[in-house]
Amino acid sequence: MAFFKLNVPFKDKDEAKKFGAKWYSEDKYWYYSGDELPEGLRRWCPLYKPVDGKEGVYLDTETGEIIRDSSEITPVNNETVNDLDDPYAKYRTVSEINRMISDIVNATNEFRAILVKGEVTNFDGKKGRHYYFAIKDDSALLPCVMWDSTAAYALKFKLEKGQQVAIAGSLEYYDAQGKVQLIVSTIENIGDGEANLAFIKLKAKLEAEGLFAPERKKSIPKHPEQVGIITSKNGQAIKDICKIAEKRNPYVQLILYHVNVQGVNAVSTIVNGIKTLDGMGLDTIIVGRGGGSDEELNSYNHERIARAVAEAKTPIVSAVGHQGHWTLIDFVADKRVATPSEAAEETIPDVMTDISRIELLKNTIRDRMKAIIENRRLLIKSTLSDIEKNSPQNRLNEKKDRLKHFSELMDMNIRNIYKDHKDRTQNLSESIASRLKLIYTGYKDRPKNLLDSINGNIKIIFQKYNNRFEVLLAELNGLSPTAKLVGGFGYVTKENKPVKNVADVKPGDDINIRMHDGDITATVK
């Protein structure tokens, strides 16, 4: 079967389809596969060049020969190539090989209507709109897909892993991924599969012996120093565990026991790994691997592994597969997690976060203590200032200053009042004299009786103002502290302090007596 690449213009695409041309969407070109290129497609094939004026006669651009039968033209790798320029020009691309396989699968009638039976595996439930799973026998797997539109009428039961099913469908080759899958047209449940029945029987046996009992499960140490890991040294599981351990607690010692996680030697190497690490007195052991199909995880369903886990004295964490996969070791282990990454998180505490949290708390405590000390320092400073301000000596000095101030203020006020009254008396006398002079001048030429009347009035007025003057002068003298001194009184002090009581002095004390015209120094007898 030959392959012809075509240069079909967009306007001619419908015509090219009529002659069997196909569009390859990934690399964006038209092609035709078959033993001979149809006449209608030859004008778009670079291998054919029509000879002018001669219908049905072509020039083979590969050999340069004129031919009349197009079957004589041998196409090579889609295009004209020069072996000297490119020694690998005759090698086909992956896309070309996959298209060849696809053409063969699509052209083979035996693949159009297939009847096959097997045990359902690798099915974790409906994903999106469609059902993806596989069926198996003792030695092989066949991937299957059932479209949602088909399941709507063909699926009459709940599809589950472990069922024995009979399927009618057709094979399809998926070019992009290079795999064959069975497109399901009808499906029937014909019972439980042998592998699933064996698993259920063994699980029931171990459960009856108490291997799954919660009370026999050991607690996982919170702060391990040594953690054993039973997995492949080349797998992703050990890389994930080491990465998380380095991030959470780089001080934990990890001890790897390399095993085959699948295949004929997997069970024996895993059992030996469990027994070896259990004898080393480690804190925890992780048994796990990355995800896989049911068949790839089947080693962990073996009875020998389950019993080795049950007999181990060291706490064991099972980390086989992902959330949807459960193996026998998951039921026997002291703790089951979905992935090796989760196993590392469960067994290795995040001390780095704890250290960071402790550092943060330490800094917070230090800052708070600094603030408290500063507040106490300011409080002590303020208290000392208040004590100094309110000391007896300072208060006494303050009282003395206030007394001196009030004494000076009182003396000043007395002088101002005396001066004010003196000025008012002088002004009043001058006013009376002036008014008397005016009255006398105005009435001196009047009859004597009028003059007597005036003189009487003047005496009355004079007497009135004189009385008022005497009253004011008496009030002034009453307000003056020195007035009492004039009457024979004296102001007695001892050491510049007033003597208010006899108890304030004793015989032999020197005292000072202030009189209105001077001071007298005396001694108490």
Angle between helices 236-248 and 351-389 (to 10 degrees): 10
CB atoms inside a 10 Å sphere around CB 68 = 10
Residue 174 has pLDDT above 50, yes or no: yes
Query: pLDDT above 90 covers what percent of the chain?
Result: 16
Report the predicted TM-score, pTM, of the whole model to 2 decimal places: 0.42
Identity at 443, one-letter amino acid code: Y
Q: What is the pLDDT of residue 313?
A: 92
Residue 523 has pLDDT above 90, yes or no: yes
- Give me the residue label for tokens 């009376």: 432
- The CA distance from 258 to 245, in Å, is 18
- The CA distance from 494 to 491, in Å, is 10
Residue 44 has pLDDT above 60, yes or no: yes
In the structure encoding, which two tokens stand for residue 496, read together? 């510049």
Higher-confidence position of 324 and 279:
279
Residue 191 has pLDDT above 90, yes or no: no
- The CA distance from 20 to 30, in Å, is 10
Q: Are 30 and 44 in contact (CB under 8 A)?
A: yes
- The CA distance from 233 to 132, in Å, is 31
| Residue 88 burial (C-beta neighbours within 10 Å; 0-12, 13-18, 19+) | exposed
pLDDT digits (tens, 9 = 90+) for 385-443: 888 777 788 878 888 888 888 888 888 888 888 888 888 888 888 888 888 787 777 65
For the chain, the distance separating the N- and C-terminal CA atoms, rounded to the nearest angstrom, is 155
- The CA distance from 412 to 406, in Å, is 10
- Enumerate residues 6+ apart whose C-beta is below 8 A from 367: none
Q: Which domains does the chain show, CATH number per domain? A: 2-91 (no CATH), 109-192 (2.40.50.140), 198-349 (3.40.50.261), 392-479 (no CATH)
- The CA distance from 339 to 321, in Å, is 6
- Enumerate residues 6+ apart whose C-beta is below 8 A from 449: none
- The CA distance from 359 to 103, in Å, is 67
Higher-confidence position of 56 and 109:
109
Half-sphere exposure for 451 (CA within 13 Å, toward CB): 8
- The CA distance from 374 to 258, in Å, is 61
Mean pLDDT value across residues 255-284: 90
Residue 75 has pLDDT above 60, yes or no: no
Categorize the per-residue pLDDT at 23 as very low, low, confident or very high, splitting at 50, 70 and 90.
Answer: confident
- The CA distance from 220 to 480, in Å, is 102
- The CA distance from 395 to 388, in Å, is 10
Question: Shortest CA distance to 31 belongs to which of 65, 8, 12?
Answer: 8
Q: What's the full length of the chain, in residues?
A: 525
Output 334-340 pairs: Cβ under 8 A, ≥24 positions apart: 334/217, 334/218, 334/219, 334/220, 335/217, 335/220, 339/240, 339/288, 339/290, 339/291, 340/231, 340/236, 340/237, 340/238, 340/240, 340/241, 340/286, 340/288, 340/289, 340/290
pLDDT digits (tens, 9 = 90+) for 412-424: 888 888 888 888 8
Residue 78 has pLDDT above 60, yes or no: no
- The CA distance from 246 to 409, in Å, is 87
Categorize the per-residue pLDDT at 458 as very low, low, confident or very high, splitting at 50, 70 and 90.
Answer: confident
Q: What is the DSSP letter of 500?
A: -
Residue 77 — left, alpha, or beta (φ > 0 → left; ψ -120 to 50 → alpha)?
Answer: left
Question: Shortest CA distance to 47 belongs to which of 28, 29, 70, 68?
Answer: 70
The helix (run of H) or strand (run of E) holding residue 418 is helix 392-443
The DSSP-derived string for 128-173 is: TTBEEEEEE-SS-EEEEEE-HHHHHHH--S---TTEEEEEEEEEEE
Strand, coil or helix: what is 76?
coil
Question: Shortest CA distance to 170 belongs to which of 208, 142, 128?
Answer: 142
| Residue 159 burial (C-beta neighbours within 10 Å; 0-12, 13-18, 19+) | middle
- The CA distance from 189 to 163, in Å, is 7
Residue 335 has pLDDT above 60, yes or no: yes
Residue 507 has pLDDT above 90, yes or no: yes
pLDDT digits (tens, 9 = 90+) for 364-376: 999 999 999 999 9
